Amino acid sequence: MRSFSPVLLRLAGALILLPAVVAAARFGLAWQAAPSPPPSVHAAARAASTPAALAVVYVAGAVARPGLVSLPAGARVAVAVARAVPLAQSDLVAVNLAARVADGEEIVVPVRGAVASRVPGATARVSHRRVARPSAPPAQPLSLNAADAQALAAVPGIGARTAARIVAYRETYGPFAAVDDLLDVAGITERSLARAAPYLRP
Which domains does the chain carry? 54-201 (1.10.150.320)
pLDDT in tens, 98-132: 889 888 888 999 888 765 444 444 433 333 333 44
Strand, coil or helix: what is 42?
A: helix
Q: How confident is the model at residue 94 (pLDDT cuts 50, 70, 90)?
A: confident
Task: Give the model's pLDDT for residue 36.
Answer: 58
Nearest to 108 by CA among 117, 79, 53, 189: 117
- Give the per-residue pLDDT at 138: 84
Residue 62 pLDDT exceeds 80:
yes
Neighbouring-strand partners of residue 108: 60
Beta carbons of 69 and 84 less than 8 angstroms apart: yes
Dist. CA 196–CA 92, nearest whole Å: 28
DSSP per residue over 81-112, as a string? HHHH-B-TTB-GGGB-TTSBP-TT-EEEEPBT
Q: For residues 112 and 9, which has the higher predicted lDDT (pLDDT)?
A: 112
- Confidence band (pLDDT; 50, 70, 90) for 12? low
pLDDT band at 49 (very low <50, low <70, confident <90, very high): low
Report strand pairing: 200-201 vs 142-143. Answer: parallel
